Amino acid sequence: MKHILQYILKIAAKIVLWRQKPTIVAVTGSVGKTGTKEAIYRVLRKRFRVRRNRKNYNNELGVPLTILGLETGGRSIFAWFKNFLKILSLVIRGKNYPDVLVLEMGVDRPGDMKYLVNFVPVTVGVITAIGQFPAHLEFFPEKGKLIEEKAHLVKSLKKDGLAILNYDDLSVRIIGDELPDSLEKTYYGFGKGADLRVSNFDLNISRLEKGDFSLNFKLDSRGSIIPVRMEKALGKQQAFAAAAAASVGLYFGMNLVEIAAGLKKFHSLPGRTKLLRGVKGTWIIDDTYNASPSSTLLALETLEQVSSKVEEKTFRKVIVLGDMLELGKDTEAGHRQVGEKVAEVADLLFTVGDRSRFISDQAKRQGMSDDNVFEFSQAEEAGLALQKKIKNGDMVLIKGSRSMHLEKVVKEIMAFPRKADKLLVR
């Protein structure tokens, strides 16, 4: 039944795209896809009618649903019947369709990207980051095959298309090197070789208790420079997303002033490096949406940066990490890489899951005291233990793969649990 539904949605999406002819921007990568998609959306909506994926609609069902402007019908025959009526109306009338579609495209298994680009004519392809130990390696025989799968996005571009690539990620840069010279490419990042470069990156915290903090940096596009301020944002990953979005905006004829104004409206989604108030006068960096070694290392860097900017330096850095899944044969190596960094940063470490014990073991090997390391099998257990240990002023980073459900830990120690449905990943 699923395959029949998938086929119907694919055909309907192809018909709508053929009739409406929107410009399509597609985003893929192992790290930062969703934040980049949101930043692109915020920039382009200053001038265009734009639609982007919501929720986790980035697969063979979610992408056509986004194209058609529909929600899933789940297991309800009635809901799907209503959807088919909407599809019929869209095909016949099709009024007020978006000018631009910003589509996040996920790759879980071999063939996923080929399937999507086969019926979605992408004009602008963005590859965010892949990292040393990317997610989904469990389903690919080797990292090179995963990179090759993601590369299909930019290899499928039209002749007048644009590949936007993360200069700071070596794997992504290699993808760019293998593209034909005839295809236009833009590299973004912090590196000096980037076409659109982030510089003067800084986190400004005026009054943390009032939620007054922002990221400040400059975007340099071939000599044209604009300052950018992103309110209530944390981490370099947001600057990467902003640079990718700016590259897209420039392709659409926008200027850097317009782009900076759009980025000012950008806010990260629940579970993506969100700063929340915790109980006992603590602060939580909620990064529970997902995790890979590279994104976890970025989160640890963010924790260090926030810590260095807070006037009160007596607090402890408490880190809660869950298993990072789908790493395949690199599972142990990826977790141990994180453990090395944790030992440099953490005052207390809580791990959740069997795989994350490699993190705690490596942290202890690097000199972290056994008395400051706590291991749990379930998120609920970790949350209860964490609440007993934290003290006034502690800064708590919580991160793990989606299926570890570490948002339960956040809910256990957040100051306003009644707002959990609004503030946390669901």
User: Which amino acid, residue 342?
Assistant: V
CA distance to 54, 125, 147, 183, 401, per residue, from 323 (Å)? 25, 30, 23, 39, 6
User: Which amino acid, residue 292?
Assistant: S
Helix, strand or coil, per DSSP, at residue 215: strand
**Counts for the chain of helices (H) and strands (E), in that order:** 15, 15
**Rounded to an integer, what distance in angstroms lies between the CA atom of residue 298 and that of residue 131?**
11
**Rounded to an integer, what distance in angstroms lies between the CA atom of residue 185 and that of residue 74?**
39
Q: CA angle 140-142-148, nearest 5°?
A: 80
pLDDT of the chain, 426 residues: tens digit per residue = 678 888 999 999 999 999 999 999 999 999 999 999 999 999 999 899 999 998 889 999 999 999 999 988 888 888 888 988 988 888 887 788 999 999 999 998 889 999 999 999 999 999 999 988 777 667 777 778 888 999 999 999 988 899 999 999 999 999 999 999 999 999 999 999 999 999 999 999 877 777 788 999 999 998 899 999 999 999 999 999 999 999 999 999 999 999 999 998 898 889 999 999 999 999 999 999 999 999 999 999 999 999 887 766 557 999 999 999 989 889 999 999 999 999 999 999 999 999 999 999 999 999 999 999 999 999 999 999 999 999 998 999 999 999 999 999 999 999 999 999 999 998
Nearest in space to 324 (alpha carbons), one of 215, 390, 404: 404
Q: Are 242 and 228 in contact (CB under 8 A)?
A: yes
> What region, left, alpha or beta, does residue 21 occupy, with left being phi > 0 and alpha being psi -120 to 50 degrees?
left
Nearest in space to 255 (alpha carbons), one of 38, 27, 46: 46
Q: What is the pLDDT of residue 13?
A: 94
Q: Are 411 and 420 in contact (CB under 8 A)?
A: yes
- How much of the chain is helix, strand and coil, in % rounded to 5? 45, 20, 35
Q: Which two tokens stand for residue 382?
A: 């970790």
Architecture of domain 274-423 in this structure: Alpha-Beta Complex (3.90)
- 224-231/212-221 β-pairing: antiparallel
CATH of 2-263, one of 3.40.50.1820, 3.40.1190.10, 3.40.50.720, 3.30.360.10: 3.40.1190.10
Domain boundaries, the chain: 2-263, 274-423
Q: What contacts 249, CB < 8 A, 6 or more positions away?
A: 40, 43, 44, 258, 259, 262
**Rounded to an integer, what distance in angstroms lies between the CA atom of residue 321 and that of residue 398?**
6
**Rounded to an integer, what distance in angstroms lies between the CA atom of residue 219 and that of residue 217?**
7
Helix (H) or strand (E) segment spanning residue 206: strand 196-207
Nearest in space to 39 (alpha carbons), one of 18, 25, 59, 19: 25
Q: What is the pLDDT of residue 404?
A: 97
Common-topology check for domains 2-263 and 274-423:
no
Q: Which two tokens stand for residue 198?
A: 């982030």
List, in sequence order, every residue forming a beta bridge with 350; answer none if it has no partner.
320, 374
Q: What is the pLDDT of residue 276?
A: 95
Nearest in space to 352 (alpha carbons), one of 279, 423, 401, 303: 401
